[in-house]
Every structure is written in structure tokens, then in C-alpha cells.
Amino acid sequence: MKLFAGLGNPGAKYARNRHNIGFMAVDAIAADHAAGPWRAKFGGRVCEAVLAGEKVILLKPETFMNHSGRSVAEAARFYKIDTGDIVVFHDELDLAPGKLRVKRGGGHAGHNGLRSIHGHLGAEYARVRLGIGHPGHKDRVTGYVLQDFAKSDADWLDDLLRGIGEGAPWLAQDKPERFQTAVAQRMVPPRPAPKAPASEARPETPPRETRPQEPHEDTRTPLQKLADRFR
């Protein structure tokens, strides 16, 4: 059994914030895999799905970002899920918008949601880092992550979330490289098929068969033929 936890802040005010891309990711997985209904539990919203034959608990902590670890730890204890079987989806300032990386262990890099999880469970869980880009200066970070995605972000965000939903079974099977590949294929549009050369595209039309014309019967009299010779 796995626990997939998406990080964000609860309420309509934050629903489209960059900081809530973790919520969006688990919502995409739930929608793509006919998950059961969301219900209130563990200080958050939880539902269950089956991915590639593996039971997966989907969790959106509603403790606000800074206390996400409390909800994740409570769910993990209830279902007896080891820290190594937890995957956390979160926004990542140090990746360009639309980029995605899977990582296990390591520091929290100042992310308050990860910091809270570290405090409750340690560091040996997997993270799906969802790139949102950086505003350029650390003083602008708080305002940036708490802003809604721009309209210009809509296309890549939709492709990213679709890729996460489609590729999630690979995560359930502990195959993060295959998951990353599935998402990357969704993000890169398929190349158009090469055009065939003109000689192949349009085969030459075979020449029409021509028949020799039948000679006309000469109906002139001998006198007319003689006269025609001297004209």
C-alpha cells in the first residue's frame, strides 16, 4: 500500500495558487483512476484508488502548508504505511515551470510543507518536485507562490497534470524513471510524420494506351486519282 500526499492550502481562496500544485496533482490522479469519494479524515481529505493493482491512499492535508506533516503522519500510522512508501507532491521553485523530478530523501530546501513532514516522519520519503519557476528574488517568493497560475500557464499545467494522472501507476510500482518518462511524453507534443517526397506522394500516371488510327478507305475513281496527281 502507498500513500500519495499532495501539499497545498485548503479553501477556494488558494485553490489555483502555485503553492497548491500538489493538491492539483493528487486530484488528477483521483480523477484518472476512478478513486473513491473524498472524505474528511486525518486533518485533511482522503480517498482510495487502485493503480496497477496497488492500493493507494490519496491525501490532501487541510492543516495549511506549515503543518502538513501532522496529517501525513496520522494517515501513515493509521494505514501502517512505512515512510519509504510515501510519495509527496509539492511545488518546486528551483525547477522551471512544467518540469518534474522525482527524488527520495535529502533536505527540505526551506519548503515549509516538507519541513513539517521531516519533523514528523524523517526524510526518507519520495517527493515529486513540480516546477513552478522562481520569481527572481527571495523577497518575492511568498507573494509569488500564493498567486494563482497565470493564464499563459494553462497549457503546460494541463499537460503536466494529465501526465501525472496517466503515469501515476509507475509510481505505485516503484518505477519513478518510467513515471518521469510518461510525464515527459505528455509535455512534448508528438512530431508530425515526415512528408513523403513528391515522387512517392503522387505516383506517375501511366500513359494512356493509344491505338493506331485505321487508314481511311480511298473512294476516288481512277480518273480522280490521276487528276489529283497533277494538281
Catalytic residue ranges:
19
**Beta strands 44-51; 54-61: pairing state:** antiparallel
- State the Cα–Cα distance between residues 6 and 68, nearest whole angstrom: 9
Contacts of 184 (CB under 8 A, 6+ apart): 100, 163
- State the Cα–Cα distance between residues 80 and 38, nearest whole angstrom: 20
CB 4 within 8 A of CB 12: no
